[in-house]
Amino acid sequence: MTTDLFGGDPHDAPDPRRSSRSRGRAKEQRERKRRRRRSVGVLVVALVMVLGAGYVVFELMGGFFDGGPSTTGSVKDYPGPGHGSVKVVVAPGQSGGQIATTLVDAGVVASTGSFVDAFAENPAAATIQPGTYKLLLEMKSSDAIVALLEPASRVSFKVTVPEGLNKDQTIAKISEKTLIKVDDLKAAIADPASIGLPAEAGGNIEGWLFPATYDVQPGATAASVLSQLTSQTVKHLQAAGVPQDQWETVIIKASIIEREVKLDDDRYKVARAIENRLERAIPLQIDSTTSYYLGKTSAPTAAENHDASNPYSTYEHVGLPPGPISSPGADSINAVMHPADGPWIFWVTVNPDSGETLFTTSNDEQNANIQKLRDWNAAHGK
């Protein structure tokens, strides 16, 4: 056996052709890997671009594809007229945007954007009142605004409290219209803080239930309803410029005026006559204060007027009665604050139907005027 000069096996020597082919295959593999990496990179970039474009489109369309409301201010609206019904509550002080959110959540309008635009285009929209409304589902936004401006859409009880009622008459009226039990109303009255009765009232609600027409929402409590009335009294006292420490005094005077005369001009004259008597320490001699304490709707007798045990007898006690005798309206409150100029100390309504009232400074003339009232009563079977 022959051997290499250096003792190696001649078959172990490298083949130049085989090494060249190996280097070629390795190079091809490296090129393929580079091409795959470039392809993956291109795909990733393309995917990012597609996703980004999709996001932009979605944002611009404002939820068009999923039917949801826009969150970017874009407008989407139902064609209307709508279907079914739903009750929605517009809270006091809500802006157009806040109302829009309420309606979108209730399924009334499609988007806040469409409603806000329609709100801006309708000058009357700013007068939408708080309350509960019965609306259609999937309404056109402009139609929803028209519906909110329509009184017939409101779901509420209307309670009208006339001027001159006392507290018992007022809560009976509230109970009749709202079906809130009288006992519940009385229980609320017994907790002055729950109904917003000012401390100046001394815990006595008489005179503080302001006469007006109120919208009472379904499910309203006795306290919430009465709070509406007391807050209106405070509002009108403030509007008339009544100092807070004079609130109760003004209410007492105004409550007397409310029961004594019908005509607005006469309120200011009675206000002056009351002041003239108080300044001269003359008893007011007002029948309505006696009747209030007795719970009568008719005129009191002479004996009843002169019953000193009645703290509301302004025949026997000089000065104002201890509290209001009715709920006065704004005109009577204003009359107290701005009495007419005049020397009168007597008055009497000689025609209860028309409200004609005569004023004088003379006792003899007053007696003659009282006779006119008696004649009227006799002629009308009173």
Peptide bond connecting 81 to the previous residue in cis, omega within 30 degrees of 0: yes
Reported as a pLDDT band with limits 50, 70 and 90, residue 63 is very low
What are the tens digits of pLDDT across the range 71-128? Answer: 334 569 999 899 999 999 888 789 999 999 999 999 999 999 999 999 999 999 999 9
Instruction: Write down the architecture of domain 83-153 according to CATH.
Output: 2-Layer Sandwich (3.30)
Tell me the three-class secondary structure of 358-382, residue by residue.
EEECCHHHHHHHHHHHHHHHHHCCC
Residue 137 pairs with which residues in a beta bridge? 83
Classify strands 213-216 and 356-360 as parallel, antiparallel or unpaired. unpaired
Tokens of 82: 């709508």
Domain ranges of the chain: 83-153, 157-239, 260-379
Reported as a pLDDT band with limits 50, 70 and 90, residue 48 is very low
pLDDT at 178: 85
**236 pLDDT higher than 50:** yes
Closest CA to 314 of 291, 349, 285: 285
Task: Answer yes or no: are the C-beta atoms of 254 and 245 closer than 8 Å.
Answer: no
Better-scored residue on pLDDT, 348 or 61: 348
Q: Read off the pLDDT of each residue in 288-309 and give the average, rounded to a whole number.
A: 95
Query: Rounded mean pLDDT of the chain?
Result: 86
Burial class for 246, CB neighbours closer than 10 Å (0-12, 13-18, 19+): middle
Reported as a pLDDT band with limits 50, 70 and 90, residue 32 is low
Better-scored residue on pLDDT, 25 or 373: 373
Reported as a pLDDT band with limits 50, 70 and 90, residue 351 is very high
Number of other CB atoms surrounding residue 294 within 10 Å? 16
Q: Read off the pLDDT of each residue in 260-277 and give the average, rounded to a whole number.
A: 97
pLDDT at 218: 79
Task: Answer yes or no: are the C-beta atoms of 132 and 87 closer than 8 Å.
Answer: yes
What are the tens digits of pLDDT across the range 182-206? Answer: 999 999 999 999 999 999 999 999 9
Task: Answer yes or no: are the C-beta atoms of 164 and 326 closer than 8 Å.
Answer: yes
Q: Read off the pLDDT of each residue in 365-380 and give the average, rounded to a whole number.
A: 95
Tokens of 203: 């815990």
pLDDT at 69: 39
